[in-house]
Structure 1
């Protein structure tokens, strides 16, 4: 984790700050004896976590050598520090010998590293608590208390999470390493995805999966299936969740993910009914009306028992302000982990406290910017649904385009991916002629061909091509899926 700059050990107010110099010495001594120890703690232990700046410098020098594949023991470190004039700063060569004498065994060394990390978090928690208390007392009267709470949530999240949102500059070397890691993950993962699978191979092929830090807009006119598509994706991600436990006790997602679903339009019960219909194949309207037989009831009950433990968390608070939404997302990640956020839908979000008086275009701008910032801060993809303007209905060609986005300027600008859901059958059904006429027979044949088809039109994608993905759609189950044969899709450059 990258902490903000810690107060120097010699500052009076930090003289009694939680620390354990013996634990730092014991771990560093073990590290100099056995460089393999570094790989067990490198993901979470950083130089800034050491209370003694000397120890932090020794750890950083050791880490730099090991990262290059070089040996890092007392002899070579002595040579390195002599070369840059820093030997006296760390106490001379004799101090390296003291560290070796204090070395713990390999099992205890990891425990000492964990203690060093924990004490660093406690010191920073003391600092953050003091600053939050000062802000609460000294903030001007016009500052809403809820805004202070949201700021507190953000700062506590950054403290609790590895690689918090405010990590400052990243060296080009580190950025390249992250890029190579992403490429390696895509190479090794089945299907060659660098992001989370959407559950539909045709869409994954076009997008490369759902990428961390991306804001993905799914837009469409009412009844096109925006919520259905987002729900299908969220359910599939949660169903495929697998993780590995790291040495520090945290969970690392290896497949699928934990999903936070902000349902600002539908209730949690309505959303759950859709998911049951998706899982069982029993039409949702039959479940809602109770038009099911005993066998179907047993099937629903068994399905509930099978899927009730999925890591899918639903917040159905209506008109949720964007500040509260981001605070709840941070809290969810801190408590349960988080790999995907879905917001249904964008125009139902409220502005932050104190900003409701601004125009709707400015409010939407604030919301989209906040969602993009949240995606980067939590390093997860954020899927936000959006309505389209009515001008679509006034055109002969009803296929949507970027200019059809309501309050489109900020949505189009801030989004990494913009996808439109389009079902030709929706409009064709409204052209239905009278039965027992030649026109009806022709219409019926044409409608049957397109009734179970849908298109996802990718109108913008920062990291790849635009085009169209053709999917199957089951209206009774509100279910999108790959066409048969699985994976068949169609591109069309626009």
Structure 2
């Protein structure tokens, strides 16, 4: 649906605005995250990023140094260790905060159920997710910064006529629904109808503890990962 691309877009924009984006990628290795960042920033087709030296045009190669320079300005920090725990994430984030004292951090985690909990809880995923969700909330408060964590949905949405997600679609949703200050869902009509000529991605703000809710449409290029703002939205003030 585009979760990682939206996360990377948020990270880049935050970095260019003077924040310190810290990405914990528990699923994707750092070189693939970096490749996605370059592709979306430069407007390069991601399939060509497998061998940019051979597959990119001369014009794109000329553009390459500027793209890398723009990305360097974001000061994005990436940690790609699998199965990281909340204490490990906190320690690495604190190290980065101390290293960049003039930038306020924004922490991104991809994704929730890959975080290692401190207890097996007899195999209860609900209790594990509850612990992780609670600890993420505490970490956001301790660091006084946003913590944005991606999460997977269950498959019940596939059986509905309207496939836009609801909070009950989040796996082990109870604690997440309670702890999160904001919950965003993504929806693309083209995801379900490949023949549709529609590049719209809906960012659905379903929960906002301190403000309005609604839908923000953006233009999404699934080949490069680029997001472009569209003017209309139905956020209620």
Per the normalisation by structure 2, the TM-score is 0.92
Q: Deviations over 1:136-179 (max 9, x none)?
A: xxxxxxxxxxxxxxxxxxxxxxxxxxxxxxxxxxxxxxxxxxxx
Tell whether 2:33 aligns with 1:271: yes
The alpha-carbon deviation at position 233 of structure 1 amounts to 0.6
1:387-398 equivalent positions in 2, closer than 5 A: 387-398=152-163
**Residue equivalent to 2:217:** 470
Q: How far apart, CA to CA, are the structure 2 residues paired with 1:481 and 1:268?
A: 24
**Residue equivalent to 1:73:** none
CA RMSD of aligned residues (A): 1.7
Q: How far apart, CA to CA, are the structure 2 residues paired with 1:232 and 1:400?
A: 21
**Residue equivalent to 1:351:** 117
SS of the residue corresponding to residue 202 of structure 2 reads strand
Q: How far apart, CA to CA, are the structure 1 residues paired with 2:47 and 2:65?
A: 17
Tell whether 2:172 aligns with 1:407: yes
**Residue equivalent to 1:456:** 203
Task: Give 1 or 2 for the bigger CA radius of gyration.
Answer: 1
Q: Deviations over 1:337-362 (max 9, x none)?
A: 4420000111111112xx13442111
Tell whether 2:20 aligns with 1:239: no
Counterpart among 60, 66, 83 of residue 296 in structure 1: 60
| Greater RCO (Cα-Cα under 8 Å, separation 6 or more) | 2
**Residue equivalent to 2:190:** 425
Q: How far apart, CA to CA, are the structure 2 residues paired with 1:306 and 1:407?
A: 39
CA contact (8 A) 2:202 2:216 kept: yes
Q: How far apart, CA to CA, are the structure 2 residues paired with 1:307 and 1:237?
A: 12
SS of the residue corresponding to residue 342 of structure 1 reads strand
Q: How far apart, CA to CA, are the structure 2 residues paired with 1:301 and 1:268?
A: 20
CA contact (8 A) 1:261 1:315 kept: yes
Q: How far apart, CA to CA, are the structure 2 residues paired with 1:466 and 1:303?
A: 34
CA contact (8 A) 1:399 1:422 kept: yes
**Residue equivalent to 1:378:** 143
Structure 2: runs of 5 or more not aligned: none
Q: How far apart, CA to CA, are the structure 2 residues paired with 1:392 and 1:279?
A: 32
Name the structure where strand makes up a greater proportion of residues: 2
SS of the residue corresponding to residue 193 of structure 2 reads helix
CA contact (8 A) 1:321 1:351 kept: yes
Q: How far apart, CA to CA, are the structure 2 residues paired with 1:481 and 1:281?
A: 12
The alpha-carbon deviation at position 268 of structure 1 amounts to 1.1
1:152-301 equivalent positions in 2, closer than 5 A: 224-241=1-18, 257-290=19-52, 291-301=55-65
Q: How far apart, CA to CA, are the structure 1 residues paired with 2:71 and 2:204?
A: 31
Name the structure where helix makes up a greater proportion of residues: 1
Counterpart among 94, 97, 111 of residue 333 in structure 1: 97
CA contact (8 A) 1:454 1:472 kept: yes
Structure 1: runs of 5 or more not aligned: 1-223, 242-256, 433-446
